[in-house]
Amino acid sequence: MRHRTPAAGAARRHSGLALAGALMLALLCGCGSSSAPSNGVASQTPAEILASTQAAAYGASSAHVSGSLTSDGAKITLDLDLLAGKGGRGQLSENGLSFELIELGGYVYIKGSPAFYSHIAGPATAQLFVGKWLKAPAASGNFASLASLTDLHSLIETTLQGHGTLGKGAATTADGQAVIPLTDASKAGTLYVSTKGKPYPVEIIKQGSNGGQIAFADWNAPVSLAAPANSVDLTQLQSGG
């Protein structure tokens, strides 16, 4: 058997978390302002409402994403600030194992608790990583799915496409905001779109064993991103550099 480097072991064990990250994309949505004037989407058809919310979300410079869902029995939570065209930062967790995440300049950085590092790399290797940021390319490898969560426009595109036949519910409120619900019976999900100000998506709720609730907030709010200093480059460890 070939000797496996600590970084290789970490990357292999991390693949499960990366896959879980990819599964989150089907649930994500957003939120907008309740104090602005009516935007008229409540009188539109479901297809027109979806087009309006897509256009509003694509035009945003930033957003905050938070919520939780269950994927294949795993409880996943997220709390992320996203900056369009740049990346994002925040925290993710799976079944209580949490880690910080930054994506910037083509790289993903993660920093977890001792329990997190022990889970993805084993107890011995975890001692090398505790208190440190790990760095890996965002475009490939086991961190690619995590990086996709911090691409605001890609996330919105994935969220709002691939739906079944849409219906429109009665005007209501979600997260204290005036909204119009779009229902997708084939996926047992409801997307709430703001009827005040710009028609940002507010919240999406999916029923069932793999359901959950995800919301966006703070559209266009300032988000500052910086790469962590002295991060551990996993590609160099794997190559023996």
CA distances from 79 to 2, 65, 120, 154, 202 (A): 39, 6, 21, 17, 15
Tell me the pLDDT band of 43, cut-offs 50, 70 and 90: very high
Q: Which amino acid is at 69?
A: L
* Mean per-residue pLDDT, 208-234: 89
What's the mean pLDDT when you consider all of the chain? 81
CATH class of 6-227: mainly beta
Strand partners, 93: 77, 98
pLDDT: which is higher, 75 or 1: 75
Q: How far apart are CA 175 and CA 50, in angstroms?
A: 19
Contact 111, 105 (CB under 8 A): no
Give whichever of 20-34, 116-130, 180-194, 219-233 has the largest mean pLDDT. 219-233
To 10 degrees, what angle do helices 46-58 and 152-160 make? Answer: 170
Strand ranges in the chain using DSSP code E only, listed in sequence order: 62-71, 74-83, 87-94, 97-104, 107-112, 134-137, 166-168, 172-174, 177-184, 189-194, 201-206, 212-217, 232-233
Of the given ranges (145-149, 174-178, 194-198, 212-216), which has the lowest mean pLDDT?
145-149
Contact between 53 and 201 under an 8 Å Cβ cutoff? The reply is yes
Tell me, rounded to whole angstroms, the distance of Cα 173 from its chain centroid. 24
Q: Which of 114, 110, 119, 116 is nearest to 130 (CA)?
A: 114
CA distances from 93 to 57, 109, 217, 234 (A): 25, 15, 20, 21
- Nearest alpha carbon to residue 68 among 101, 84, 89, 91: 91
pLDDT band with cut points at 50, 70 and 90 for residue 2:
very low
Q: Where are the domains of the chain?
A: 6-227
Residue 26 has pLDDT above 70, yes or no: no
Nearest C-alpha neighbor of 102 from the set 74, 126, 133: 133
Q: Give the Cα separation of 166 and 17 in Å (integer).
A: 32
pLDDT computed for residue 35 by the predictor: 55
Amino acid (1-letter code) at residue 185: A
